[in-house]
Amino acid sequence: MSQAVSEPTVENYKGILQQYCQKWALRDLTYETDQQGTPNEPSWVVTVNFGETTYTTPAPIRGSKRWAEQMAAKQALEQIESHQEAFLAGCSESRSNQGDCETPEMQVPSREVSAPDFLNVPTELVTTALGIANHRLAGQQRGTRYRDSLESKRGNQAFAQHLAELTIQIVREIANAADASGVKFGDTSQAESGE
C-alpha cells in the first residue's frame, strides 16, 4: 500500500506571479516541466516564461509537478525582487561587473523612462508626484482584502515599491517634458554652488 506524501501548504506563488505579469503587462506566462528521477520519486526542472523573461530552476525540485511549479514561481519572484532591489540601490550592469553590487542572472524588462541618473528638481515636484502616484495606486488597491498578516506585509511592501517606482517615473517624465519645452526649475545654481 502506498503512502500519500503530503506537501506543506504554501502560498499561491503562481497566482502572485500571474498578478505581477498582469500589472506589468507581461504576456504569455507559461510553465515548462521536465521530469527527472523515477515515477515513484519524481523531481522536476521547471522553466517559467513570461514576457521576454525566462527563468529555469537551478536544480530539480522533488515532489509533484504542481509543487515544483509553485516553487519555481517562488524562485522567479525572488529573482525579480532581488533585481528590483539592485536597480533601486543604483546598481547598474557595469557596476556589478566591477564587483560594487550584485545583480541576479535573470533580467526583467524595465518600464523605466530613460533619463539622467541625477535629477535636480524642486521638492514640491517630488511630493506632488508622490501624491499622484499614491492616488493612482490606491485606486487599484480598493477592494483588496488580505487574509493574514504575512500577505498584508507583502502587500504593503509591494505597494511601497510600486509607489516609489511610479513616483520616480512621474518625476522623470515631467523633468523630460520640461527640458524639451525649455522650462527650468527655479534657481539650480545655488544648489550646485553650495556643494
pLDDT confidence bin for 150, thresholds 50/70/90 = low
Q: Please, what is the average pLDDT of the chain?
A: 74
Torsion of CA 76, 134, 139, 117, to 10 degrees: -50
**What is the third-level CATH fold of 10-110?**
Double Stranded RNA Binding Domain (3.30.160)
Query: How would you write 43-101 as a 3-class SS string?
Result: EEEEEEEECCEEEECCCCEECCHHHHHHHHHHHHHHHHHHHHHHHHCCCCHHHHHCCCC
Sketch the domain layout of the chain as residue ranges. 10-110, 112-189
Q: Give me the mean pLDDT over the 76-88 stretch.
A: 82
Among 13-22, 95-104, 135-144, whose mean pLDDT is lowest?
95-104
